[in-house]
Amino acid sequence: MSGGWLSGISYPALVSLTVILGFKHVFTPKPWQRTYLAIFAAFLGTVGESFVIDTDHWRHFWMMLGAMWGMIAAAQIYKIRYGQDASSA
């Protein structure tokens, strides 16, 4: 709530959306899946820790969040470019 009501609503919404979309993309086959799993696991642990201590000022939290969104976007492009049969690649 350090940024007011707008950030007090946007921050949990962004974290929740990232976890939901991130969990969906855990099961999507792609070449960088091992890297994605490592970042997702670390991000999920940090989100769990955020119930104890605030994480909105942790730089590595934002780095993991950005890396996850980057890999989610890359997975969408990969799916469009190589079609539904991406499991054979």
Cα distances (Å, whole numbers) of residue 24 to 14, 53, 78 = 15, 26, 15
Per-residue pLDDT tens, the chain, 89 aa: give them. Answer: 577 888 889 988 999 999 999 999 888 888 889 999 999 999 999 999 888 887 777 888 899 999 999 999 999 999 888 876 545 54
- Quick one: pLDDT at residue 43? 93
Q: Residue 36: which of 20, 16, 22 has the closest Cα? A: 22
Contacts of 3 (CB under 8 A, 6+ apart): 11
Tell me the pTM.
0.78
Question: Measured between alpha carbons, how far is 71 from 37 in angstroms, rounded to an integer?
Answer: 11
